[in-house]
Structure 1
Amino acid sequence: MQTVKQGDTVRVHYHGRLDNGTTFDSSEGRQPLEFTVGAGMVIAGFDNGVLNMKVGEKKTVHIPVHEAYGPKNQEMVLDFPKSNIPPDMKPEIGQELQMSNAEGQVFQVKVVGINEEFITLDANHPLAGEPLNFDIELVEIV
């Protein structure tokens, strides 16, 4: 029976959980995720996790931080002057906002702190710094 190798396009169902058991994503109720193994379409640990799987096989993989979204980068946590916020905007801790940089690229940030002068924004990926666990089922090798 054929097994997954680098360069194969595959379809998988998955259930992603943090170490504490909290689900952060799942393909349940959706079409299987399709990607090309080794093409950088998914995190490295997920790519590596499907290697050598056979169609119909199920397995659980633990992905360390460095093969997931990497460690939290403190340089991506910044204090933004409240004076630069539109007056009608009332940010709250935990709120997710979109910002753009000088090149016009849009990115998501999370409000993680508020004081008199600044709001503190975290531009790290929401799963940065987290080891991840995936239950994976190989549906098809395309």
Structure 2
Amino acid sequence: MPKNARPWTMITLAWLVAIAATLGALFIGEVMGQIPCTLCWYQRIAMFPLVAILGTAAYRGDPSAWRYALPLGTIGLTIAAYHSLQYAGLLPPPIVPCQTTGPSCSSTGMLVLGIPIPYLSTAAFSGIVLLLLPLARTRS
């Protein structure tokens, strides 16, 4: 096994997660016609560039791409976790922007395979961050 096969595998897997999340978001918005709430837009802003960053890194075999992708993934994870806590009702109602203005993530149309979109986003960002963290530890 080549010395850099593990970093390449981790970056490629993170890229595949980012592609799946991006295609899912585009499908929900463009095909299903569901307008994203404000927090969903912020998560898209963090996810979409990860496709290009991680894809380029996987193609070039560049394990140092974690320096660019990990902060973006962490920001996205923070927003997605906050959104999930709002969806679960663990945060007080006055600070729930997606249920007071614009589209609501609590409608039944915002489920994919029975799973709420905020939870899917949290899972995707968590996967990306968990795949990139070992690279940050070994390449510091």
Higher helix content, 1 or 2: 2
Report the structure number with the largest CA radius of gyration: 1
Query: Is the structural similarity TM-score above 0.5?
Result: no
TM-score of the aligned structures, taking structure 2 as reference length: 0.28
More strand by share: 1
TM-score, length of structure 1 as denominator length: 0.27
